[in-house]
Amino acid sequence: MTTEASTKLYAGLDLHANNTYCAVINQSGQPVFQQRLANELPTICQALQPFQPQLHGVAVESTYNWYWLVDGLQAERLPVQLANPAKIQQYSGLKRTGDPSDALWLAELLRLGILPTGYIYPKEQRGVRDMARRRMSLVQAATGTLLSLQSMVTRYTGRRCAGAGWRTGRWWNCGRRFPTRPTRRRRRRCWSCCTSNGASNGRWRRTCWPGSSSTARGRGC
């Protein structure tokens, strides 16, 4: 006689960029279904449909692209749990590892009731959280770039540039000896000054273009 405990099934989904390995085990831990599926929600739901009445849990690995899969399985009223891969450690004595073993291990942890899970953030609020994360990443990148430029100017000039000077546009005062070519605005200003005084094109290049002439290097309008 088949008991209710023997009909309990547990599924583990090892999610990747373009495919998902699906494994289903019974109450005793024996695999009853294993297959690699394309990352298409109808395909995955169709594969789990025969086991849906007995499924007591579906463990989905929390990867960067879990939103669509978890939302789709929840829409099909499947008992989804988001596995936290940072806290999952496989048995070190396994001889073979791979996608099948990963999916089976997720299902086994779910069966034993020791699956480390993560919080499934509400779908309506994910956009705000993701935008906040992107802003934090941009701020960190901007800060790292600013510190890198400050250290570069200090290497060339021996002077330390405060962050306020960079934000107000006065950072060039900290690095007048830093080698660079004049900006377009400065070249235009020098050209206007030289031509108004009757200078030729050659003289403008010699006097206003640093490095163009050994006798005129460092000079300018």
Virtual torsion, Cα 12, 15, 19, 22, nearest 10 deg: 0
* Nearest alpha carbon to residue 208 among 133, 216, 200: 216
163's tokens: 């962050």
User: What does the pLDDT read at residue 50?
Assistant: 94
User: What does the pLDDT read at residue 186?
Assistant: 55
Q: Is 12 helix (H, G, I), strand (E, B) or coil?
A: strand
Q: Is 40 helix (H, G, I), strand (E, B) or coil?
A: coil
Give the residue range(s) of CATH 3.30.420.10 domains in the chain: 5-120
| 120-178 per-position pLDDT tens digit | 999 999 999 999 999 999 999 998 988 888 888 888 888 777 666 565 555 555 545 44
Distance (Å, whole) CA 176 – CA 150? 13
Homologous superfamily (CATH) of 5-120 is Ribonuclease H-like superfamily/Ribonuclease H (3.30.420.10)
Whether 215 shows a pLDDT value over 60: the answer reads no
E strand segments, the chain: 9-15, 19-26, 31-38, 55-61, 80-83
Partner residues linked to 14 by β-bridges: 21
User: What does the pLDDT read at residue 150?
Assistant: 84
Whether 14 shows a pLDDT value over 60: the answer reads yes
| 90-112 per-position pLDDT tens digit | 655 555 678 898 999 999 999 99
CA angle, corner 172, sides to 203 and 135, nearest 5? Answer: 130
| 29-81 per-position pLDDT tens digit | 999 999 999 999 999 999 999 999 999 999 999 999 999 999 999 999 999 99
